Amino acid sequence: MTAVRDILLDCICEKTGYPQDAVGDSQALESDLGLDSIAKVELLSTVSERLDINLEDMDESQTEKLESAKTVGDLVKFIEDMCK
């Protein structure tokens, strides 16, 4: 498990109330976990604070990738790419 994934899962569990062992990479953010677009932004804000990354400097390509993230795994990949 990566540090990014661990932090993201912690944040998802805090936001949704699901236990960490009930959240997997293939789960859909919206339909499985109930995270709408506003909740996803709030989640990313919390994750970015914990990882000390700046999401305000995202370019259009990164914004499109974020908007297309549909699963926990997609979001892990997006955040890992932002940390590079």
Instruction: Record the tokens describing residue 54, joined without a space.
Output: 């700046």
- Look up residue 76 and give its amino acid: V
How many angstroms separate the CA atoms of 30 and 37, rounded?
Answer: 8
User: What's the average model confidence in pLDDT over 73-84?
Assistant: 90
Average pLDDT (32-49) is 90
* 40 pLDDT tier (thresholds 50, 70, 90): confident
- Residue 33 has a pLDDT of 96
Task: Please report the domains of the chain, with CATH numbers, ordered by start residue.
Answer: 3-83 (1.10.1200.10)
Average pLDDT of span 64-84: 90
Residues of the chain above pLDDT 90, percent: 58
Cα–Cα distance for residue pair 23/13, rounded to 1 Å? 8
Place of tokens 């709408």: 36
